[in-house]
């Protein structure tokens, strides 16, 4: 946990960045407020490495969302009215990382610092994979059901494409690699580099596929919303990450 002065600096930085995201129309005002509150908690309890990775995730997601926004808007595939992300989307992607940091803050023995860094990165690797797959995949102009492989309209829940899957892998991999670099830069404990990068990439990418399955089987039937589907997809990535750590044994 940060000291008083560094905590104030971290909170001010978080609030400033959230306001900037709102002014740039990357987030709605309500979503920006949520990001500021949760982000402040993350930086105070977890540290600047956790905040930095979260900021990079939000920035990458915003750029991906704005990419070819006119084309997405024409086809009614954009986020919000002009590419901005709302409170439901922000909550779906920030609640789990915040809970992980909270568990560590309350009981470091229950979640070692190295395991926290791994699972936190796995959660954001899912977020990046899901965002990249959606925002770049819809531009492919074609998609198939993840379960039946039959053609579906781009943007359909559960619809996937080769470009979308490739971008999902890119999102997960880059988040994993940048996460390790950030935690190393801030001298935060992590598992060995190969385990960290490969494990978090795998957890994020597979979680993205689970998200698509949930979208086709439950969201399309009205049992889940987009936000709850994303939330469960991120939970699955964290559980997969936990399984990978357990299988790795005492390599934390």
Classify residue 41: in a domain, yes or no.
Answer: no
Classify residue 167: in a domain, yes or no.
Answer: yes
Look at the block and give the residue holding tokens 């559980």.
239
Look at the block and give the residue holding tokens 């796995």.
122
CB 190 within 8 A of CB 183: yes
pLDDT band of residue 195 (cuts 50, 70, 90) is very high
40-53 tens-digit pLDDT: 999 999 999 999 99
| pLDDT value, residue 235 | 97
CB 173 within 8 A of CB 243: no
Classify residue 53: in a domain, yes or no.
Answer: yes
Structure tokens at 217: 């089987």
- Split into its structural domains, the chain has a count of 1
Enumerate residues 6+ apart whose C-beta is below 8 A from 221. none
Look at the block and give the residue holding tokens 């995201």.
21
The torsion angle over the Cα atoms of residues 75, 175, 55 and 113, rounded to 10 degrees, is 140
- For 136, the domain range is 49-248
Classify residue 34: in a domain, yes or no.
Answer: no
Work out the percent of the chain whose per-residue pLDDT is above 90. Answer: 68
| pLDDT value, residue 80 | 55
100-131 tens-digit pLDDT: 999 999 888 789 999 999 999 999 999 999 99
How far apart CA 209 and CA 124 sit, in angstroms, is 15
Classify residue 201: in a domain, yes or no.
Answer: yes
Inform me whether the pLDDT recorded for 2 exceeds 80. no
What percent helix, strand, coil does the chain show, rounded to 5? 75, 5, 25
Classify residue 214: in a domain, yes or no.
Answer: yes
Classify residue 14: in a domain, yes or no.
Answer: no
pTM score above 0.85 = yes
Classify residue 13: in a domain, yes or no.
Answer: no
């Amino acid at each position: 946990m940060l000291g008083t002065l560094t905590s104030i600096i971290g909170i001010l930085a978080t609030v400033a960045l959230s306001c900037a995201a709102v002014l740039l129309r990357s987030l709605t005002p309500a979503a920006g407020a949520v990001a500021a509150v949760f982000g402040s908690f993350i930086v105070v309890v977890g540290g600047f490495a956790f905040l930095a990775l979260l900021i990079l995730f939000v920035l990458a997601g915003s750029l991906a969302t704005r990419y070819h926004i006119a084309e997405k808007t024409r086809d009614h595939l954009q986020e919000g009215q002009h590419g901005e992300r709302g409170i439901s989307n922000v909550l779906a992607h920030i609640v789990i990382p915040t809970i992980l940091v909270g568990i560590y803050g309350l009981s470091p023995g229950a979640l070692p610092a190295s395991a926290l860094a791994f699972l936190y990165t796995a959660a954001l690797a899912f977020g990046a994979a899901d965002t990249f797959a959606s925002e770049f995949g819809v531009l492919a102009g074609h998609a198939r059901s993840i379960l039946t492989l039959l053609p579906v309209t781009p943007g359909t829940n559960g619809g996937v494409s080769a470009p979308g899957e490739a971008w999902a892998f890119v999102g997960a991999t880059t988040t994993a690699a940048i996460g390790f670099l950030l935690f190393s830069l801030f001298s935060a404990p992590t598992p060995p580099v190969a385990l960290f990068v490969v494990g978090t990439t795998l957890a994020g990418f597979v979680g993205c596929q689970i998200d698509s399955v949930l979208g086709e089987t439950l969201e399309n039937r009205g049992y889940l919303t987009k936000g709850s589907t994303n939330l469960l997809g991120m939970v699955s990535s964290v559980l997969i990450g936990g399984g990978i750590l357990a299988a790795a044994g005492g390599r934390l």
